[in-house]
């Protein structure tokens, strides 16, 4: 039994009414993608979309992100809704009418739709603010694609007070159109960058005994890291280490002085992350030492694990099914090993992220082009559901529908 106090029809209608503006905004942002923390054109489009609404705007200084605050008629809880804004550095090849006009940048992760849905929700909630038993923070956030935009906005003091509940949507072409999906606990992985340099001694390829060849050492480190993952980490708290790039040498008859590896570490708990980081250093340094070489290991800490609070995930499930029926929610059996900087918000406040399926018209969600593909396309109509979901989540999180 799904007892929710909000009126589903109100928010379904608001989502549908907001769809044309959301499509227009999404296409405008899609055509002018921007990268990183500084997105002046995207922010200007958000400001224009919010113009005239009864919102208090907070900004700066580290990013062009903004937080728009809507106060309901009553004092109560605060709920944060978040949309990320940045694009990816790749060349678009979708053939869409509103294809990227910036060579080398593309909204391939759907953040253009996240902005459009959040702006649509801001307008719909402003028009019905009497329904809100508290405050809504709309967080428009740049720099999700590895730039730590959410952490910068937290450090800039824009998210104050910390919300009682936080919610974000991420669109996905690889889920049935219009369905929401999520899970309690880890949803996405931590992500750290690895760089390993092995220093040997160059020489003639015919006389390796007079040189110190770094290449066998690099190869041994790659395989030893995979053994370390299976022997030192619990199978119930997994990690992925992928060495994705290897570089050494210039020709067939020269032993190079040094070589390099680049890779990624993904984990689903901070404990395994720390154990794996320490293991990578130990294995690389000592494999090198075993051969008389030297390894230098650098680990750039990326996003933390994205951990969804059970109460907010449950609220998202009840909200989605109250709006759109039982088929509208999918509980994900497993996390995904991608990463997401909404994790920084979820470290500070109870919250959840959900995916919104947007498999394109005529496409099969199992096989169509994934997020980050140069040919990724989405079904824009699902944004009506996204707007409704944001609005209903805000109303529900501020009401007795959410027990904290």
Contact region for Ni ion (CB under 5 A) — 104-112, 214-222, 301-309, 310-318? 104-112
Tokens in use for 353?
Answer: 């992220």
| Count of helix runs (H) and strand runs (E) in the chain | 9, 16
- Site residue total, Ni ion (CB under 5 A): 1
CB of 114 to Ni ion, least distance (A): 8
User: Alpha carbon 367 to chain centroid distance?
Assistant: 21
> Closer CB to Ni ion, residue 109 or residue 312?
109
- Applying CB under 5 A, does 109 fall inside the site for Ni ion? yes
> Closer CB to Ni ion, residue 87 or residue 255?
87
> Closer CB to Ni ion, residue 109 or residue 241?
109
Contact region for Ni ion (CB under 5 A) — 101-109, 175-183, 272-280, 393-401? 101-109
Sign of CA pseudo-dihedral 172, 178, 179, 184: positive
> Closer CB to Ni ion, residue 109 or residue 316?
109
Write out the H or E segment, with its range, that includes residue 254. Answer: strand 254-255
- Applying CB under 5 A, does 117 fall inside the site for Ni ion? no
Gyration radius of the chain over CA positions: 24
Q: Which residues contact 228 (CB under 8 A, 6 or more apart)?
A: 241, 276, 279, 280, 283
The residue nearest Ni ion at its CB is: 109
> Closer CB to Ni ion, residue 70 or residue 117?
117
Contact region for Ni ion (CB under 5 A) — 34-42, 109-117, 322-330, 331-339? 109-117
CB of 110 to Ni ion, least distance (A): 6
Q: How far apart are CA 157 and CA 287, in angstroms?
A: 45
CB of 108 to Ni ion, least distance (A): 9
Beta bridge partners of 82: 139, 168
CB of 355 to Ni ion, least distance (A): 10
Residues 13-42 interacting with Ni ion (rule: CB under 5 A): none
Contact region for Ni ion (CB under 5 A) — 91-99, 102-110, 242-250, 375-383? 102-110
Q: How many CA atoms lie within 13 A of 239 on its CB side?
A: 29
- Applying CB under 5 A, does 323 fall inside the site for Ni ion? no
Comparing CA positions, the residue from 402, 404, 379 lying closest to residue 392 is: 402
Q: How far apart are CA 58 and CA 137, in angstroms?
A: 10
Q: Are 199 and 294 in contact (CB under 8 A)?
A: yes
- Applying CB under 5 A, does 337 fall inside the site for Ni ion? no
> Closer CB to Ni ion, residue 109 or residue 308?
109
Contact region for Ni ion (CB under 5 A) — 66-74, 105-113, 218-226, 350-358? 105-113
- Applying CB under 5 A, does 356 fall inside the site for Ni ion? no
Comparing CA positions, the residue from 193, 281, 264, 272 lying closest to residue 233 is: 272
Helices (H), 233-370: 270-290, 310-324, 343-348
> Closer CB to Ni ion, residue 46 or residue 108?
108
Sign of CA pseudo-dihedral 185, 189, 190, 196: positive
Contact region for Ni ion (CB under 5 A) — 27-35, 108-116, 205-213, 319-327? 108-116
Residue 300, φ and ψ in degrees, nearest 5: -90, 115
Q: How far apart are CA 402 and CA 397, in angstroms?
A: 5
Opening angle at CA 320, ends 315 and 325, nearest 5 = 130
Q: Are 106 and 91 in contact (CB under 8 A)?
A: yes
Contact region for Ni ion (CB under 5 A) — 26-34, 107-115, 249-257, 331-339? 107-115
CB of 363 to Ni ion, least distance (A): 19
CB of 336 to Ni ion, least distance (A): 11
CB of 172 to Ni ion, least distance (A): 9
CB of 232 to Ni ion, least distance (A): 31
> Closer CB to Ni ion, residue 85 or residue 320?
85
- Applying CB under 5 A, does 312 fall inside the site for Ni ion? no
Tokens in use for 151?
Answer: 């952490």
CB of 82 to Ni ion, least distance (A): 12
Where do contacts with Ni ion occur on this chain (CB under 5 A)? 109
């Amino acid at each position: 039994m799904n007892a929710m106090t909000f009126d589903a029809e109100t928010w379904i209608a608001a989502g549908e009414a907001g769809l044309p503006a959301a499509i227009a905004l999404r296409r405008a942002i899609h055509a002018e993608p921007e990268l990183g923390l500084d997105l002046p054109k995207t922010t200007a489009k958000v400001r224009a979309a919010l113009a005239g609404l009864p919102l208090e705007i907070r900004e700066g200084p580290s990013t062009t992100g903004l937080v728009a605050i809507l106060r309901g008629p009553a004092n109560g809880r605060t709920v944060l809704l978040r949309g990320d804004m940045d694009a990816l550095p790749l060349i678009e090849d979708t053939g869409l009418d509103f294809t990227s006009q910036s060579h080398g940048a593309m909204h391939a992760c759907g953040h253009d739709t996240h902005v459009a849905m959040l702006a649509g929700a801001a307008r719909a909630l402003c028009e019905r603010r009497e329904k809100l038993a508290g405050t809504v923070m709309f967080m428009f956030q740049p720099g999700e694609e590895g730039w730590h935009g959410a952490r910068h906005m937290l450090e800039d003091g824009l998210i104050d007070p910390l919300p009682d509940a936080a919610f974000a949507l991420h669109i996905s072409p690889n889920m049935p159109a219009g369905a929401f999906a999520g899970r309690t606990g880890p949803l996405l992985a931590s992500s750290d960058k690895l760089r390993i340099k092995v220093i040997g001694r160059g020489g003639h390829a015919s006389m390796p005994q007079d040189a110190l060849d770094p290449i066998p050492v690099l190869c041994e480190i790659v395989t030893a890291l995979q053994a370390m993952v299976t022997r030192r980490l619990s199978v119930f708290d997994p990690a992925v280490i992928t060495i994705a790039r290897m570089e050494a040498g210039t020709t067939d008859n020269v032993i190079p002085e040094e070589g390099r590896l680049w890779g990624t570490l993904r984990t689903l708990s901070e404990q395994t992350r720390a154990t794996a980081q320490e293991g990578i250093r130990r294995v690389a340094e000592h494999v090198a030492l075993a051969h008389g070489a030297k390894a230098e290991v650098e680990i750039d800490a990326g996003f933390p694990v994205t951990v969804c609070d059970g109460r907010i995930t449950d609220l998202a499930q009840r909200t989605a099914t109250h709006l759109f029926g039982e088929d509208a929610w999918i509980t994900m059996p497993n996390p995904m090993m991608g990463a997401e900087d909404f994790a920084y918000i979820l470290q500070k406040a109870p919250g959840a992220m959900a995916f919104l399926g947007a498999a394109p018209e005529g496409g099969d969600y199992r096989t169509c082009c994934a997020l980050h593909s140069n040919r990724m396309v989405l079904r824009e109509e699902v944004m009506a559901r996204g707007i409704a979901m944001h609005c209903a989540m805000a109303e529900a999180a501020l009401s007795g529908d959410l027990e904290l």
